[in-house]
Amino acid sequence: MDFRKVQFFLAAVRCGSLTEAAAELGVSQPALSKAIKALERSLGVPLMERGRFGVVATPFGEALRYHGQVVEAEFRHAAGEIESLKGAQKGHVTLGCGPTEATRLLPLALARVSQARPELKVSVLYGLNESLMPSVKQGEIDFALSSVPGRAQDPDLLHETLFTESAVVVARADHPLARLRQIAPALLAQQQWVLPRQRELERQAFDDFFRSHGLNPPTAQFETTSTVLMKSMVMQSDALTFIPHELIYWEERARQLRPLSVAGVEWVRPVGMTRRRQGALSPASRFVMECVRGVAGQHF
């Protein structure tokens, strides 16, 4: 199997368009189409479905995409290791990051990377665990910096816990409830809320808190995966939210947001790094991970 043709196929599926993939690869669209058709003939199966809105992988193509991305990641790591052995301080690391980790942990770690290895390039993909974990598994990113499970759930992934964090009820700094030393659950149930979606861990803990006090969980008028939207709405209204404390680190210091005094809200999650169990990390990836560990140990 010609891996160059596999790379052409991976680019087409990733872009969802032969035109965009050809531009990304620096080849003509006819040459790209010809290479993918040749790959399909050699395998004896259709790899893509072509339509008016672009291209998508067939079930055969999905199988090739999964394994092809893993091989592509290994080539990337090998190139990085060769550069390291040559004494270069260069390399390219692609990592995934959740919203909480993007607040302080990763910026501080990247500052260390920049100071020690100014020629090392880092690309960061932002997302929640539901998108980050498949990307790690498929080799699209070298490692993810996000919440990690207490027990391993996927044999293909290796998790490393760095610290634990808690969630808090958040209001704007001059919210009427901010004057209270202790807020009863019944009073909270009457407030307006902007919350994570039902399946998010924070939302489940939020609902469990009210049920434990014999109350029905409040119905959120607004649900979102965007922490930026949650914080913006809370700053501009009487609405409350329930998010990890770290997410309001800067807004709390700027006296824009504050955690409310609510007893009994106990939700913690481990934060750490996740990488594929199989396959070697490049020297550049190992260095970035070491910078993350250093910051976590010093500041968290």
Query: Tens digits of per-residue pLDDT, 85-105?
Result: 554 467 899 999 999 999 999
The pLDDT of residue 130 is 81
The pLDDT of residue 85 is 59
Give the residue with greater pLDDT, 249 vs 196.
Answer: 249
Q: Say if residues 137 and 70 touch (Cβ distance below 8 Å).
A: no
Across residues 135-149, what is the average pLDDT?
91
Residue 116 pLDDT class (50, 70, 90 cuts):
very high
Give the Cβ contact number of residue 183 at 10 Å: 19
Instruction: List the domain boundaries for the chain.
Output: 3-57, 88-163+270-299, 165-268
Q: Say if residues 82 and 112 touch (Cβ distance below 8 Å).
A: no
Given CA atoms 132, 134, 140, 141 in this order, what sign does their dihedral have? positive
Instruction: Say yes or no to pLDDT of 211 above 80.
Output: yes
For domain 165-268, the CATH class is alpha beta
The pLDDT of residue 87 is 45
Burial pattern 54-86, b for ≥16 Cβ within 10 A else e, equals bbebeeebeebbeebbbebbbebbeebbebbee
Topology alike, domains 3-57 and 88-163+270-299: no
Instruction: Say yes or no to pLDDT of 61 above 90.
Output: no
The pLDDT of residue 250 is 95
Q: Which CATH number fits domain 3-57: 2.60.120.380, 1.10.10.10, 3.40.50.300, 3.30.1330.200?
A: 1.10.10.10
Residue 52 pLDDT class (50, 70, 90 cuts):
confident
The pLDDT of residue 86 is 57
The pLDDT of residue 281 is 86
The pLDDT of residue 78 is 76
Query: Tens digits of per-residue pLDDT, 17-28?
Result: 888 888 888 889
CA–CA separation, 166 and 56 (whole Å): 41
Q: Tokens 């891996």: give the residue.
A: 3
Superfamily for domain range 88-163+270-299 = Periplasmic binding protein-like II (3.40.190.10)
Q: Say if residues 28 and 35 touch (Cβ distance below 8 Å).
A: no
Number of H helices, E strands in the chain: 11, 11
The pLDDT of residue 83 is 66
End-to-end CA distance of the chain: 48
Query: Tens digits of per-residue pLDDT, 154-204?
Result: 889 999 999 998 889 999 999 999 999 899 999 999 999 999 888 777 788
CA–CA separation, 188 and 210 (whole Å): 9
